[in-house]
Amino acid sequence: MKSKDGRGACLMSERVAIEMREVTKRYPRVLANDRVDLSVREGEIHAIVGENGAGKSTLMKVLYGLVSPDSGSMLVGGEPFSPAGPRDAIRAGIGMVHQHFMLVDTLSIAENVVLGDEPRARGVFVDSRAASERVERLSREYGFELDPREKVEGLSVGLEQRVEIVKVLYRGASILILDEPTGVLTPNEVRELFSILRSLRESGRTIVFITHKLDEVLELADRITVMRDGRVTGVVEAGLTTREELAHMMVGREVLLRVSKSPGAPGETILSVRGLAVEGRKGTEAVRNVDLDVRSGEILGIAGVQGNGQTELIEAITGLRTAGAGSVALRGVDLTGRSPRNVRDSGVAHIPEDRQERGLVLSFTVAENLVFGRHHRAPYSGRGLLDLGAIGERAERLIDENDLRPRDPGSLAGSLSGGNQQKLIVARELDGRPVLVVACQPTRGVDVGAIEFVHRSLLDLRDEGAAVLLVSAELSEIMALSDTIAVMYRGEMVASFGAGEVTEDELGLLMTGGGDAREGRARDHAGGAGTKEPGADRRGGAA
């Protein structure tokens, strides 16, 4: 037994659970894994960190049987391992919790957990009672607090993630791979997840943890493997390194890990939203009577657990969804009900929360995706024809300025890593000096170097007089960038604060409907978002 910095007992042994030797995987124009060695001990939490395109997700897909390596070998539990697919990985005791959950909303928790591996009565009929009992037993054993009979569609993101973990435990996994597991969790949900992962480690399970959040790596992991450009640059004990050292190993240079910004200098109101109501799924009211103002030279950050109306609010502002009531105005011009193209042509840039669904056409090239939204205007088109030369020149410039990888305008957007897909969208949207930037999860799934770049870009636009409406599940991002912070809960703006007036824990409570913070510091700010001038009532409407 091994103790680590007072963080509890760690049952990590010297026995190796996973051994990957000189694993190589090539794609057209990309060497994703270049003779990678990875050794993970039994009973440890092992983090893999690296820039976008560093090869960490590809390496885990090789281990899980989703990708076949070009060369190299693997051992699991000391036995040779060469999976033909995920079924072989599951049989070997490996389970993977993907970044995007794979749940059926209309089914219960128990039905989701056993789907594809249902217990049978008399060898024929699905034994629903046995399924619920097994799921309840697993939930109780690890403190998941899940009701097997509850429908998934009513769960918070944190509880959905617990269901995904129970799914792999139900199938007998002794090795768990988690890909960016904290991306959309509140601080309290992150703490609860870490408690669960430590409990799993103490039960003897081995956990591989892929993330870009260095603070979390240092808090949770026993050991850390760092990758860059498809190779391993180092393996370190978590208790013997720092964020700065890890960032340097990841990027190959010094990285500014803390946002440095000057106080905002808000000017005229750019975006004005009044009494906005938006319909959500199944006729429900996803947004209720929302007022907010965003001024030039200001970043207004909206904090909230995913699914509390942020998506519908942003889609109504950007023309992607029709509002049921209320108005949206840009510099006094009514945009309510306008088309997305009309909204964009008015000077609004939009970084959508779902890059693949809303931000990209995956079967189109990088160059084509970089010109979307401007492709109908000169110099990129004329007389009904696209100017491929101008489109190519723009792509080369943006690829160079934003360090997109691979550096090939002809690559398909779908072939890029998730982080480089995000960088492509940010590069396209922030180019051209927009009047208003609507940024939703702008750094989701990107590495420390890209986060530094995106944050700096948003702050530079603010300082040049643009208005920025920021929606993020990362409270540290909201607090670091925002001049004003609003909290959205169940479709309403329940509070707003000036920068420095609220803590992460207080925001976390408000985001989940907690009463203590609502009755305390937030009390005088509740009811709207945005500010008119220093000292004014922080409500969307007139003071």
pLDDT at position 220: 95
Asked whether the beta carbons of 70 and 26 are under 8 A apart, the reply is yes
* Per-domain residue ranges of the chain: 2-93+174-251, 104-164, 258-347+434-543, 355-432
Q: Do domains 2-93+174-251 and 258-347+434-543 have the same CATH topology?
A: yes
Rounded Cα–Cα distance for residues 165 and 386 (Å): 48
pLDDT at position 516: 47
Indicate the average pLDDT of the chain.
Answer: 86
Instruction: Please tell me the least confidently modeled range out of 347-361, 410-424, 429-443.
Output: 410-424
Categorize the per-residue pLDDT at 281 as very low, low, confident or very high, splitting at 50, 70 and 90: confident
Higher pLDDT, 52 or 57: 57
Rounded Cα–Cα distance for residues 543 and 531 (Å): 9
Categorize the per-residue pLDDT at 275 as very low, low, confident or very high, splitting at 50, 70 and 90: very high
What pTM was estimated for this model as a whole?
Answer: 0.70
Which run of H or E residues covers position 492? Answer: strand 492-498
Within 8 A by CB and 6+ apart from 302, the residues are 310, 313, 469, 470, 471, 472, 478, 485, 486, 487, 488, 529
For residue 507, report the phi and psi dihedrals to the nearest 5 degrees: -65, -40
The three-point CA angle 398-399-404 to 5° equals: 130
Within 8 A by CB and 6+ apart from 50, the residues are 56, 226, 227, 228, 250, 447
Rounded Cα–Cα distance for residues 503 and 484 (Å): 13
Average pLDDT rounded to a whole number, residues 28-57: 91
User: Residue 249: how many CB atoms within 10 A of its CB?
Assistant: 19
Name the residue among 286, 281, 353 with its Cα closest to residue 313. 286
Rounded Cα–Cα distance for residues 435 and 268 (Å): 12
Average pLDDT rounded to a whole number, residues 71-90: 96
Helix (H, G, I), strand (E, B) or coil at 112: helix
Structure tokens at 396: 């080369």
Q: Give the CA dihedral 207, 157, 91, 48, nearest 10 degrees.
A: -30
Categorize the per-residue pLDDT at 256 as very low, low, confident or very high, splitting at 50, 70 and 90: low
Report whether pLDDT(186) > 80. no
Pairing of strands 231-237, 223-228: antiparallel
pLDDT at position 535: 34
Average pLDDT rounded to a whole number, residues 297-316: 92
Per CATH, which fold does 258-347+434-543 belong to? Rossmann fold (3.40.50)
Question: With DSSP H G I counted as helix, E B as strand and the rest as coil, what are the percentages for the chain, rounded to 5?
Answer: 35, 25, 40
Structure tokens at 263: 């106080």
pLDDT at position 7: 46
Which run of H or E residues covers position 373? Answer: none
Percent of the chain whose predicted confidence (pLDDT) is above 90: 57
Q: At what angle do helices 128-142 and 187-202 cross, to 10 degrees?
A: 100
Residues in the chain: 543
DSSP bridge pairs for 307:
none
pLDDT at position 11: 52
Categorize the per-residue pLDDT at 529 as very low, low, confident or very high, splitting at 50, 70 and 90: low
Helix (H, G, I), strand (E, B) or coil at 426: helix
DSSP 199: H
**For the domain 2-93+174-251, what is the CATH superfamily, name and number?**
P-loop containing nucleotide triphosphate hydrolases (3.40.50.300)
